[in-house]
Amino acid sequence: MKIRPHQVIGQIIWFVLLATSTACVNAQSVAAGEHKHGFCVSCHGINGRSFKVDYPILAGQAAPYILRQLQDFKQSRRSDPIMNTIVPMLSDEDMRDLAAFYATIEPYSSPSESDPIKAIRGKDVAERAQCVTCHLGGADLGGSELPRIQGQHRRYMMKQLKDFKAGRRANDSGVMHRIAQSMTDTDIEDLGNYFAAMRIDNR
């Protein structure tokens, strides 16, 4: 995926302006997180409702999950060209504030269409892999460090599964690597279509 220089430059400028703010905020202040999420908007959308299919929807994800991912990016346990540039500038307080904010937003489903035939096959893949055991979280699972994936962008999910399979992503206990290795590229595509087609309230 090609990174446009203006994306990174724009985010850096926003962060510099943010860092000069004199606002005094609580460590987990939702209001502070709402203010700080401005430099995330170009990729993750306003209020975490990403319309770019290569970037995850953050709206309604559990705060512990978002915080853990930000910490993993900062400590180089997870890698992404854009996140590798932005996250090192975030303080621990910034990360807690952003996580707290995104967790309060109503969950949002990807508006992109899925292939219905692939989605049907994807349901079988999901059942074999027991994906819903960990990932079909409702809004009540606010303490989870695992992501909710129903309604997530298909392309984003497919890339993450391929990264887990190839070992390019390994910021978990190894479970996802083992599961993804058991899948073919067709399985991964079908699974992405299945969960992307699932609305948040369709459990």
Residues 196, 79, 27, 46, CA torsion sign: negative
**Entry pTM:** 0.83
Q: Which of 78, 81, 74, 132 is nearest to 98 (CA)?
A: 74
What are 130-168's pLDDT values in tens digits? 998 899 764 445 568 899 999 999 999 999 999 999 999
pLDDT of residue 67: 96
Percent of the chain with pLDDT over 70: 81
Mean pLDDT, to the nearest integer, of 93-110?
Answer: 94
